[in-house]
């Protein structure tokens, strides 16, 4: 529990509360729509309270890669509307899920419109950051995502995915490097010298 509290403190502790203001949904939508590429480190707090770390790349629309640090061996690649989860130490083929069935599809959409009817089910301010809770309005049973943004400048700092199984996964982002050109091979899942697309 101390590890989780420490990770959260690292994310938000350096930001003076007096400098923060609640962001409007249109401001958050505009920020996400102009966000084309991201490279950052991350700390993941799993549903059982355990911590994982690694590196994350995002290329909007539709692409994401989570590369976990050892001893974890998982690699998660999102591309072509599919989430692929590969245990690099396993002989089993990667698990695959449609992106549209996960709350991450909201971040990776070609056009983010948080003002869309029934998409946002929570919009608050915790004194430090704006928290937006969103879901697919046509398929709310697929889960929801809590997005946390700081302002001045506007920046995505954390998200929490609540999936359809009732589990909760928190991803805390490090410093965001944005706007760079990313190697397209980042979003191809490669195993043992072969290419699984």
CATH: 3.50.50.60, 1.10.10.10, 2.50.20.10, 3.90.1150.10. Which one for 20-180? 2.50.20.10
Closest by CA position to 19, among listed 174, 130, 114: 130
Could you tell me which of 125, 132, 165 has the C-alpha nearest to residue 146?
A: 132
State residue 165's pLDDT score. Answer: 85
Q: Give me the pLDDT at residue 138, please.
A: 83
Across 69-95, average pLDDT: 89
Q: Is 28 helix (H, G, I), strand (E, B) or coil?
A: helix
**Residues contacting 5, CB < 8 A, separation 6+:** none
- Spatial contact of 69 and 94, defined as CB atoms under 8 Å apart: no
Model confidence at 90, pLDDT cuts 50, 70, 90, reads confident
pLDDT bracket for residue 118 (50, 70, 90): confident
Percent of the chain with pLDDT over 90: 59
**Spatial separation of the C-alpha atoms in residues 182 and 31, rounded to whole Å:** 20
- Reading the block at residue 187, the tokens are 């979003």
The pLDDT value given to residue 8 = 35
Q: Distance between CA 176 and CA 25 in Å, rounded? A: 21
State the chain's mean pLDDT as an integer: 84
pLDDT for 98 beyond 70: yes
Mean pLDDT score, 58-67: 95
**Contacts of 80 by beta carbon, 8 Å cutoff, 6+ apart:** 62, 197
- Give the pLDDT confidence score for residue 20 in this predicted structure: 61
DSSP state of 128: S
Output the pTM of the full model: 0.82
List the structure tokens of 112.
């983010």
**Which segment of 6-10, 45-49, 135-139, 175-179 scores lowest on mean pLDDT?**
6-10
Q: Kindly state the DSSP code that residue 143 receives in the 8-state scheme.
A: E
pLDDT at 162 > cutoff 70: yes
* Structure token digits, residue 4: 């989780």
Q: To which residue do tokens 């490097």 refer?
A: 177
* 110 pLDDT higher than 90: yes
Higher-confidence position of 88 and 182: 182
């Amino acid at each position: 529990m101390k590890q989780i509290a420490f990770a959260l403190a690292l994310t938000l502790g350096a930001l003076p509360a007096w400098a923060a203001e609640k962001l409007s949904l249109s401001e958050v939508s505009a920020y996400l729509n102009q966000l084309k590429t991201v490279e950052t480190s991350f700390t993941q707090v799993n549903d059982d309270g355990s911590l994982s770390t690694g590196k994350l790349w995002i290329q909007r629309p539709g692409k994401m890669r989570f590369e976990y640090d050892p001893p974890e061996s998982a690699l998660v690649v999102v591309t072509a509307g599919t989430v692929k989860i590969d245990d690099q130490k396993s002989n089993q083929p990667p698990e695959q899920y449609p992106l549209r069935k996960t709350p991450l599809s909201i971040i990776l959409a070609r056009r983010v419109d948080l003002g869309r009817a029934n998409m946002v089910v929570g919009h608050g301010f915790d004194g430090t950051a704006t928290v937006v809770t969103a879901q697919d309005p046509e398929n709310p049973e697929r889960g929801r995502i809590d997005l946390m943004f700081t302002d001045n400048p506007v920046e995505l700092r954390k998200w929490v995915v609540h999936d359809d199984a009732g589990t909760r996964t928190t991803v805390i982002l490090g410093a965001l490097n944005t706007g760079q050109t990313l190697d397209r091979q980042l979003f191809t899942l490669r195993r043992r010298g072969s290419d699984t697309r």
